[in-house]
Structure 1
Amino acid sequence: MSSPCSTCAYSAPAGFPSSVAVIALTQGVYLGIGTVLPLFVQIVKGESAVISGLVVLPGALLSVAMALVSGKLYDRFGVHVPARAGSVCTLAGIALLATMPMDTSMPVVAIAYALCSVSVQLIITPCNTWGINSLSNSLVRHANAAAQTSNQISNSFMVALIISFSALSSVIAPKATELEAAYYGDKIAFIAAAAILLALAAFIAIFIRDRETDTIVE
């Protein structure tokens, strides 16, 4: 295949590009949150890097476990149930992060991030399986390569975009102290991530649907 990406774009069913877009944006937003959160813990809360790592550790461990469970959920319910539930729960987790006051306790921060981590897997694993299943065998390996490229580009862009929103604190609150500016910047970044997830949840509700040919295991 001389041009795998072009061939995938023109030959793949609509489900595959939709799944690639959803996965790329979800991963990008999740990485953006994972970049901002340690800054909140260390700068705003004044905690050490060790505490920052411990805050995100439960979410990372639960994310690995949920990656296995979400595959079973896809087999049982199809793509729309776990993906929609995941988008709503991820949005709830980010909303919790965006509304945290400066004196939020570390367990609350860890719970909010863990909710995001678990919910993201409810989106990614079912959507990936659903998108790959829509392809013919001849396109699968090329589609995987194209999807990985899209993910890398999206991850870099979304992290940079979400981090850049934190710089708006100087515009919104020019008289804030250094600590307040850091807090407002992180808050703006979380709000931006929530807005992106809200649009993504709407996209999932409209375009991510089980096909008539999909087989659901009873």
Structure 2
Amino acid sequence: MEVTAQGKTRSGLDGKAIKVMPIMIALLLSGFIGMFSETALNVALTQLTEDLNVSYATIQWLTTGYLLVLGILVPVSGLLLQRFTTRQLFIAALVFISSGTFIAAIAPTFIVLLVGRIIQAVGTALLIPLMFNTILVVIPPERRGSAMGLIGLVMMSAPAIGPTIAGLIVEHLSWNWIFWISLPFLLFALGFGIKYMQNVSEVSKPKIDVLSILLSTLGFGGIVFGFSSAGEGAGEAGGGWENPVVIVSLIVGVIALILFSWRQMKMEKPMINLRVFKFRMFTIGLLMVFLAMMIILSSLVLLPVYLQRGLVVSVLATGLIMLPGGLINGAMSLVTGRLFDRFGPKWLVPIGLVIAAASLWFFSSVTTASSIGFVIALHACLMIGISMVMMPAQTNGLNQLPPEYYPDGTAIMNTLQQVAGAIGTALAISLMNSGIISFDGDPTSPLFASEALTHGVSHVFRFGAIIALVGLVVSFFIKRVNVGHQKGEAQAERLPH
């Protein structure tokens, strides 16, 4: 049961008292298993190329297709959150994720596996915005830091243990078991949600604007596809940023986004209300989250590459090396959530960015002779720094929005995280290939390939440190939103018109 700041029990739309704990359990369990199945497959991509007899560029569509679906559907989530009840969206999300997981588990070919992944992505695109929006509705602003900390624990613990468990599965069973193991937990979460999930948001049935949906799809889809394709083709002749497909996708995406934004500002009831950008702390929080996602993706997407090709360790060892940092990040999310509730983001975010920048700078000095302990320590420090940035900045920004803007704020936050992920990954791979090409070493040396790759990866870590320093400058403008404990609502400090 949820109690407001005034000490009164809140009721859901069915007139019954809101039971926060069962709702949180259903959302967090679903999010954990969804994130696990999403990230665990990345470890098995090399084996999949052999088992399914496809190229590495083709197998990357399991990741690109997933991101593309998220980039297209998450922007529409604000509209869906207003048209359908909490229970309807939760059940639909779990049905999509479970169905996609089953199809992927039995997949005999690459095409079937890709279809399963796309169906999974549809469910994830519904679940993640629903999770954040529900937290905003049922948890008072003064206690949202702790609730967001729980989400951080789930969102980071699953990717942390995913590669380790997947490494064990791939080594002793087959990649199909990554999905078979996830399926019973998803079905349990679905049954639990059917029993306990309550309708907590008002359904307003806004008018569907087909042109806005089309422009959103072309805009966000084009940006995500363009950057993802640039990353996959980087270093290949006619690929990367020179690929006409990449150039056209990015141009179409940018033009469509401009037209989409213009249309939303002109509409009386827009698909996504861009007026959320009038709230200063929301805008700053959004920028901090965007930069943090770029740091995570640009740096950590290549850390496994460095470990396996630079230090020449196994897939299982890679998962074990990255496990402590991921678990620490999850645990720190709980700590930073409580610290945020007590002190706000003013000191947490800058200190976190200093730690992240220092960790990345030291990471840029890694060599083929660097010790495993050194890598584990730096990875753990980086995760601590990121945990002090992501949830505090995100929670502080969302706290400033009036309740009627919650669906729009969560949709924008989650959409730009997908865009940041695509941009960060593409830039990381391009910088790594640039560093490999510019490496001045002895081509006859047996360590030449490992040293060249390590040199390229160091460029990526240095880039991540620069992004963290940019974020540090922006963080000096962040301040705690006055949540107005008597009313339980944030006081909006808006940007001037």
User: Normalization by structure 1: what TM-score?
Assistant: 0.91
Which secondary structure state, in structure 1, belongs to the residue aligned with residue 279 of structure 2? coil
CA distance in structure 1 between the partners assigned to 2:360 and 2:306 by the alignment:
14
Q: Is 1:180 matched up with 2:446?
A: no
Structure number with larger C-alpha Rg: 2
- CA deviations on 1:112-162 (whole Å, 9 max, x unpaired) are 111111210110111111101111111012110111111111111111112
- CA deviations on 1:50-98 (whole Å, 9 max, x unpaired) are 1111111011111111111111111222111111111111111111211
Q: Is 1:194 matched up with 2:465?
A: yes
Matched residue type, 1:91:
A
Superposition deviation, residue 170 in structure 1? 4.0
Superposition deviation, residue 173 in structure 1? 2.2
Structure 2 counterpart of 1:21, from 284, 287, 294: 287
CA distance in structure 1 between the partners assigned to 2:478 and 2:380 by the alignment:
24
User: Which residue matches 1:78?
Assistant: 344
Figure out how many residues of one structure are paired with residues of the other and give that number. Answer: 212
Identity of aligned residues (%): 24
Structure 1 runs of 4+ aligned residues shifted over 3 Å read none
Matched residue type, 2:301:
T
CA distance in structure 2 between the partners assigned to 1:199 and 1:6 by the alignment:
24
Which secondary structure state, in structure 1, belongs to the residue aligned with residue 480 of structure 2? coil
Residues 113 and 28 of structure 1: is their aligned pair in 2 closer, same or farther, counting only changes over 3 Å?
Answer: same
User: Which residue matches 1:210?
Assistant: 480
Residues 170 and 62 of structure 1: is their aligned pair in 2 closer, same or farther, counting only changes over 3 Å?
Answer: closer
User: Which residue matches 2:410?
Assistant: 144
- Deviates most, 84-93 or 27-36: 27-36
CA distance in structure 2 between the partners assigned to 1:5 and 1:187 by the alignment:
40
Q: Is 1:64 matched up with 2:330?
A: yes
- Deviates most, 135-144 or 162-171: 162-171
CA distance in structure 2 between the partners assigned to 1:175 and 1:127 by the alignment:
43
The answer for unaligned runs of 5 or more in structure 2 is 1-268, 443-447, 486-497
Structure 1 counterpart of 2:435, from 162, 169, 175: 169
Superposition deviation, residue 175 in structure 1? 4.4
Superposition deviation, residue 214 in structure 1? 5.1
CA distance in structure 1 between the partners assigned to 2:293 and 2:475 by the alignment:
15
Q: Is 1:36 matched up with 2:306?
A: no
Q: Is 1:157 matched up with 2:428?
A: no
Which secondary structure state, in structure 2, belongs to the residue aligned with residue 4 of structure 1? coil
Superposition deviation, residue 3 in structure 1? 2.9
Q: Which has the higher contact order (CA 8 A, sep 6+)?
A: 1
CA distance in structure 1 between the partners assigned to 2:282 and 2:327 by the alignment:
28
Q: Is 1:129 matched up with 2:398?
A: no
CA distance in structure 1 between the partners assigned to 2:307 and 2:462 by the alignment:
17
CA distance in structure 1 between the partners assigned to 2:483 and 2:276 by the alignment:
21
Q: Is 1:105 matched up with 2:375?
A: no
CA distance in structure 2 between the partners assigned to 1:186 and 1:71 by the alignment:
32
CA distance in structure 2 between the partners assigned to 1:67 and 1:78 by the alignment:
14
Superposition deviation, residue 169 in structure 1? 2.0
User: Normalization by structure 2: what TM-score?
Assistant: 0.41
Matched residue type, 2:275:
T
Q: Is 1:2 matched up with 2:270?
A: yes
Residues 178 and 203 of structure 1: is their aligned pair in 2 closer, same or farther, counting only changes over 3 Å?
Answer: same
More helix by share: 1
What is the Cα-based RMSD across aligned positions, in Å? Answer: 1.7
CA distance in structure 2 between the partners assigned to 1:215 and 1:91 by the alignment:
34
Superposition deviation, residue 174 in structure 1? 4.6
Matched residue type, 1:130:
N
The answer for unaligned runs of 5 or more in structure 1 is none
- Contact 2:310–2:454 at 8 Å: present in 1 too? yes
- Contact 2:366–2:454 at 8 Å: present in 1 too? no
